[in-house]
Amino acid sequence: MIEGKVAIITGAGTGIGRSTALRLAKEKVNIVLNYSRSESEARKTQQEIEAYGVQSLLYKADVSNDAAVRRMIDETISRFDRLDILVNNAGVTDFVDHDDLEGLKDEYWDRVMNTNVKGMFYCCRAAAPALKKQRGCIVNVASVAGLTGLGSSIAYAASKAAALSVTRSLARVLAPEVRVNSVSPGIVQTRWVEGQQAHIKRLAEGTPLERIATPEDVADMIYSLVAHADFVTGQNVVVDGGMFI
């Protein structure tokens, strides 16, 4: 039973974060909705999850800022007096063709690593003491790019490979009190791929399930790891419709 527990979801205003917030709220989990830029979307998500009768906290913080992350954790504990679940969903990318080596600027590397790797770690580190008290869990949203080296840029793929490594390391460090797992979606129908219908159709036709993932597909797997995987830690679950089998 996860009813009454408290979850922080980073990047919760849109896409996978939004769907995960709704999925957990449906199970009566109280939600801290983190966002950095998508304030109007995050407020709309907050209204939707509160329709399930749960409590929520809307919190603006850039996860690449360690001090801001620590304040978010402190505010969560102050408000709810507990933290049980952390879903690290916040992520960024810059689209750079892999063969355009000169086009992969230092600023792109810094931005993607600061958010996708260091930001994820900052959240895990700050949340760890509270999660240990509740024997809680962490789910990190990675990507098949971290397994294949494909994706929006070489830097993005590298950041997701690093996220998978950090997940395994933290699963050892935080055990036995805290479980740490990850999910690796393939291409997901979010605003990142808006306007790329021909590309989406081509990819979907090459998968066994003949479609790309929806945010709800990924949210369902995150929910499963949170609620139904008490003996699973240090694992990565691919959610790609069989694209890379």
Measured from the Cβ of residue 59, the count of other Cβ atoms closer than 10 Å reads: 20
Burial tier of 48 (Cβ tally within 10 Å: 0-12, 13-18, 19+): middle
Cα gap 6→137, rounded to integer Å: 11
Measured from the Cβ of residue 201, the count of other Cβ atoms closer than 10 Å reads: 12
Cα gap 134→149, rounded to integer Å: 36
Q: What SS3 class is residue 193?
A: helix
Is residue 52 part of the annotated active site? The answer reads no
Measured from the Cβ of residue 122, the count of other Cβ atoms closer than 10 Å reads: 24
| Active-site position among 35, 59, 108, 156 | 156
Torsions phi, psi for 45 (to 5 deg): -60, -40
Cα gap 25→71, rounded to integer Å: 23
DSSP codes of every residue in 40-75? HHHHHHHHHHHTTT--EEEEE--TT-HHHHHHHHHH
The residues annotated with a catalytic role in the active site are 156
